[in-house]
Amino acid sequence: MLKIKCPYCGYRNESEFSCGGEAHIARPAVSNKITDSAFCEYLFMRENPKGVFLERWCHTSGCRRWFNIARDTVSHEIYEIYLMGNTPKTVKGKKAYQANWRRTSKAEAASKTPKRTKK
């Protein structure tokens, strides 16, 4: 069981957290039209790397806050924990962020949200 440092509460057992899967999946705004296949990449495709993985975690049985973790899926070593809205700062985290195919995906390009939804 991992020992995870919640940015708000400090070190806690893994059993207090839930893993929300891949981080940094930008949601395309509906008004920025993209093809079905580009949208489905956003909706369904998830990375499953051997090595450094950027994940979202939530301190479900604690403060209920979401944050990001850069974790090695082989050794389970946690390289970095950083807040929502930020990108990784460590060398390994940065590399994993840049290497992800999403950075050049159509869905991510279409993610700039228009301010309000009502027309």
Partner 1 sequence: MRHMQSHRLETNNGTSINRKKPVHFKFDRKEFTGFEGETLASALLAHGVHLVGRSFKYHRPRGIFGIGSEEPNALVRVIKGASAEPNLKATQIEIYDGLIAESQNRFPNLKFDILSINNLFSHFFPAGFYYKTFMWPSSFWMLYEKFIRRAAGLGKISKKHLEQNRYEHKYFHCELLIIGGGAAGLQAASIAAQTGVRVIIADEQHELGGWLLTDNNFNIDEKPALNWVRDTVEKLKSAPNVTCLNRTTVFANMDDNFTIMAERVTEHLSRPFAHLPKQRLWKIRATKIILATGAIERPLVFSGNDLPGIMLSSAIRSYIKRYDVLPGTRAIIFTNNDDAYFTALAIYEAGGFVRCIVDLRENPKSQIITTIRKLGINVKTGHAVIAAHGSRHISSVDIAAYDSEAQAPLSSISHMDCNLLAMSGGLNPVVHLHSQRKGKLIWDERTLCYRPDNRSDEWISVGSANGTFQLKKALNEATKKTTITISKLLKENKKSKIQKNNSVPNSEEKQQNWAPTPAWLIQSAQPHISNKTAFVDFQNDSTALDIKLAVREGFHSIEHVKRYTTTGMATDQGKTSNVNAIGILAGSLKKSIAQTGITTFRPPYTPTSLGVIAGRNIGNLFDPLRKTRIHSWHQSNGAKFEHVGQWARAWYYPQEGESFHQAVTREVYATRNYAGVLDASTLGKIEVKGPDSAEFLDRVYTNEFSNLAIGKAKYGLMLKEDGMVFDDGVTTRLAEDHFFMTTTTGGAAGVLGWLEELLQTEWRDLKVYLTSVTEQWSVASLSGPNSRAILEACLGKDNNIMHDFPFMTMKNSFINGIPARIFRISFTGEMAFEINVPARYGLALWSHLMQIGEEFKLTAYGTEAMHVLRAEKGFIIVGQETDGSVTPYDLGMNWIVSKKKSDFIGKRALERGSMDEPQRKQLVGLLTTDPQKVIPEGAHAVLNPNQEAPMEMLGHVSSSYYSPNLKHSIALALLKGGSNRKGQTVYIPMLDGQEPIEAKIVEPIFFDKKGDRLRG
Q: What are the residues binding partner 1 (CB under 8 A)? A: 1-3, 13-14, 20, 27-31, 36, 39-40, 43, 56, 58, 60, 64-66, 75-76, 84-85, 114, 116-119
Q: Tokens standing for 106?
A: 């159509």
In this structure, are residues 79 and 70 in contact, taking their beta carbons and an 8 Å threshold?
yes
Choose the contact partner of 6 out of Zn ion, partner 1, none; CB within 5 to 8 A by kind: Zn ion
- Taking a C-beta distance cutoff of 8 angstroms, is the pair 14, 1 a contact? yes
CB of residue 87 to partner 1, shortest distance in Å: 14
Kindly tell me which of 5 and 103 has the beta carbon lying closer to partner 1. 5
The entry of partner 1, Zn ion, none near residue 27 (CB within 5 to 8 angstroms by kind) is: partner 1
CB of 119 to partner 1, least distance (A): 6
* Count of residues engaged in binding Zn ion, rule: CB under 5 A: 6
- In the region spanning residues 38 to 97, those forming contacts with Zn ion, defined by CB under 5 A, are 59, 62-63
The residues that touch Zn ion, with contacts defined as CB under 5 A, are 6, 8-9, 59, 62-63
